A and B are shown apart, each in its own frame.
Chain A
C-alpha cells in the first residue's frame, strides 16, 4: 500500500446545518490522499457520522464543496463503498447473494458475479457459510459479510461508520487485523469513524480529532507506526504513546 500525494477526497470550507438549528459541522477543510487510512474520532455530537454521510453523498453540504476523485460525491458513487454500523444484510438472502448484491445492482453478469463472490468469500474466510442465512451467523461474521459486500465492487474509497462498534473487543481486534490485511492486498483509501482510541491508532495513518458544537476539526495526529501491523503492534511503546496523545486530545475537546 503506497500513499501518494494525490488528493482523493477534498473538503473545502464545508458546513452542514439542519434547518435553522445551529450548525452540525462548521468550516471543515480536509484533504485525504490516495491510500490514506483516516479515522474520525470525537465525542458524540461532533458530527463525525454526518461528515461521512457528506463524503458519501447520502447527505448534502449546506455550504462549501466536496470532491471525490474530482467529482461530486453522488457522481463518484461507483467507486465508493459504505460500511454501516450494523451489518445491514438482507435476511432473505444467503451470504453469497448478500455479498453479490452490489454487483447485481450494477448489472454484473451472473458468471462474473459468482467468480468474484467466491474469491471474496475465500479472502474473508467465509467459504464455509456461503449458503447460510444471516440469522445463522455471529455478529463478527455478519460484519465480515458486510465488509466483503463493500469490497466486491472494487471500491477506491471505503467509508466506514463505526463498523465494529457493536462487537466484543477480541472480535473487533481480529477484524481490525483482517481489515489491514485486506488493505495490503487491495487498493482503497479509507475514512473510518470510531469511538475507540486504540482502534483508531491501530488502523490509521492519520487521526482527525473533532470537537463538538459546532463540529469542527480540533487536531490532526499522524500515525507513523510501520505496516504490516499485527497484534504485536498493540504492545509496542510507540502504540502506547500514540494512544496516550490521542486520548489527551480527546479529553481536551470534551472539557471545552
Chain B
C-alpha cells in the first residue's frame, strides 16, 4: 500500500512541476491565450463552462459506451459464427480486415448522410471502429482450444452445444477482454470523430467533438484545452473500467488478471 502511495505522489509531483513550468513559460514568453493558454486559464475555463463541459462529456460517454456495448454483442455473435468452420472464416474474415483498415474519418460522413445527424450516427461510428478488434480476438479465443480438451469432452459424449458453452466460450473470455480493452480506448476516439461530422443540430447539445469544433472556431483555446483533457480522461475511465471488469471476472483463474492484481 505504501508503495502505491509513493508512486502516486511521485506521479502527482511530476504533473505539478510540469504545470508550473508551463505557467511560467506562458508568462515569460507573453504568449497570447488563443495560441497557448496557461494552466490557470484552462482551469478558469473549466470552472466557467463547467455545466456545458459535463453535458458534452456525458453525451460522448453515452455514444462511446453504446458503440462499445453494441460491438461486444455483435462481435461476439460474429465470432461465434466464425468459430463454426474454417470455411466460413476463409470466406468472411477478409471483410473484418476491411473493417479495420477503412479510415473511419472517410466513413463517418457517409454514415451521417445515411442515418442523419445526431447521437445514433455517432454511436454507429464508434460501433464500427470497435468491431474489428472484438471479432478478431474473440474468434482466436474460441478456436484456439487445446485439442485434448476437445477430446476430453468428446469422451464424455458432449454435444456441440456443450462444447461451445462449457469449453469454447469460457476459454475465449480472456481473449474477448483483450479485444474489449483495445475497443474501449478507440470507442472514445470513434465517438469524437463521429461528432466532428455529425455533431448536433442545436448548440450546447453536442458531445466533446462538437464542442471542440465550436471552441476552435470561436478561438476559445482555453476551453479547447479543457475539452481535450476531458476527452483524455474519458478514455482513461473507460480503460480502467474494463481493466476492473477483466480483473473481476478473471482473477481467480487467469494469469493476465492475476499478475495485474499482484503488481
Contact B253 A92 (CB under 8 A): yes
Contact A134 B155 (CB under 8 A): no
Contact B253 A105 (CB under 8 A): no
B101 is an interface residue with CB less than 8 A from chain A: no
A82 is an interface residue with CB less than 8 A from chain B: yes
Kindly supply a per-residue 1/0 record for chain B positions 239-263, scoring 1 wherever the CB is within 8 Å of any chain A CB and 0 otherwise: 0000000000000111100100000
Instruction: Find B151's partner among A82, A133, A134 (CB 8 Å cutoff).
Output: A82
Contact A78 B157 (CB under 8 A): yes
**Residues of B with C-beta under 8 A to A78:** 157
Contact B170 A90 (CB under 8 A): yes
A248 is an interface residue with CB less than 8 A from chain B: no
B92 is an interface residue with CB less than 8 A from chain A: no
Q: Give min CB distance, B150 to chain A, whole Å.
A: 9
CA distance A85 to B252 in the complex (A): 25
B84 is an interface residue with CB less than 8 A from chain A: no
Instruction: Find A82's partner among B155, B158, B254 (CB 8 Å cutoff).
Output: B155
Contact B155 A81 (CB under 8 A): yes
**Residues of B with C-beta under 8 A to A81:** 155
CA distance A102 to B156 in the complex (A): 6
A135 is an interface residue with CB less than 8 A from chain B: yes
Q: Give min CB distance, A27 to chain B, whole Å.
A: 26
A207 is an interface residue with CB less than 8 A from chain B: no
Kindly supply a per-residue 1/0 record for chain A positions 170-196, scoring 1 wherever the CB is within 8 Å of any chain B CB and 0 otherwise: 000000000000000000000000000
**Residues of B with C-beta under 8 A to A153:** 156
CA distance A238 to B258 in the complex (A): 50
Contact A106 B149 (CB under 8 A): no
Kindly supply a per-residue 1/0 record for chain A positions 119-149, scoring 1 wherever the CB is within 8 Å of any chain B CB and 0 otherwise: 0000000000000011100000000000000
Kindly supply a per-residue 1/0 record for chain A positions 92-113, scoring 1 wherever the CB is within 8 Å of any chain B CB and 0 otherwise: 1000000001101110000000
Contact B148 A77 (CB under 8 A): no
CA distance A166 to B89 in the complex (A): 36
Q: Give min CB distance, B162 to chain A, whole Å.
A: 6
A56 is an interface residue with CB less than 8 A from chain B: yes
Contact B252 A77 (CB under 8 A): no
Asked whether A91 and B254 contact (CB < 8 A) given A84-B148, A84-B151, the answer is yes
Contact A90 B149 (CB under 8 A): yes
13 A-B pairs within 8 Å (CB atoms) are namely A56-B155, A77-B155, A77-B157, A90-B170, A91-B254, A92-B254, A104-B166, A105-B153, A105-B157, A105-B158, A105-B166, A133-B252, A135-B255
**Residues of B with C-beta under 8 A to A82:** 151-152, 155
CA distance A236 to B173 in the complex (A): 52
Instruction: Find A88's partner among B148, B162, B166, B252 (CB 8 Å cutoff).
Output: B148
User: Chain B residues in contact with chain A, CB under 8 A?
Assistant: 146, 148-149, 151-158, 162, 166-167, 170, 173, 252-255, 258
**Residues of B with C-beta under 8 A to A92:** 170, 173, 252-254
Closest B residue, CB atoms, query A86: B148
**Residues of A with C-beta under 8 A to B155:** 56, 58, 77, 80-82
Asked whether A91 and B156 contact (CB < 8 A) given A86-B148, A105-B162, A105-B166, the answer is no
Contact B157 A91 (CB under 8 A): no
CA distance A46 to B152 in the complex (A): 23
CA distance A81 to B173 in the complex (A): 28
**Residues of A with C-beta under 8 A to B151:** 56, 58, 82, 84
CA distance A247 to B162 in the complex (A): 44
CA distance A78 to B158 in the complex (A): 11
Asked whether A133 and B253 contact (CB < 8 A) given A80-B155, A84-B152, A105-B158, the answer is yes
Closest B residue, CB atoms, query A105: B156
CA distance A81 to B52 in the complex (A): 66
Q: Give min CB distance, A107 to chain B, whole Å.
A: 10
Beyond known contacts A81-B155, A135-B255: 8 more, CB 8 A cutoff: A56-B155, A84-B151, A84-B152, A90-B166, A92-B173, A101-B156, A104-B166, A105-B158
Closest A residue, CB atoms, query B173: A92
**Residues of A with C-beta under 8 A to B253:** 91-92, 133-135
Asked whether A88 and B157 contact (CB < 8 A) given A105-B166, A133-B252, A135-B253, the answer is no
Q: Restricting to A53-70, which residues have a CB under 8 Å from any CB of B?
A: 56, 58
**Residues of A with C-beta under 8 A to B173:** 92
CA distance A133 to B257 in the complex (A): 14
**Residues of A with C-beta under 8 A to B156:** 77, 101-102, 105-106, 153
Q: Give min CB distance, A78 to chain B, whole Å.
A: 7
CA distance A105 to B156 in the complex (A): 7
CA distance A63 to B42 in the complex (A): 81
CA distance A192 to B169 in the complex (A): 32
**Residues of A with C-beta under 8 A to B157:** 77-78, 105-106
CA distance A81 to B154 in the complex (A): 11
Q: Give min CB distance, B249 to chain A, whole Å.
A: 9
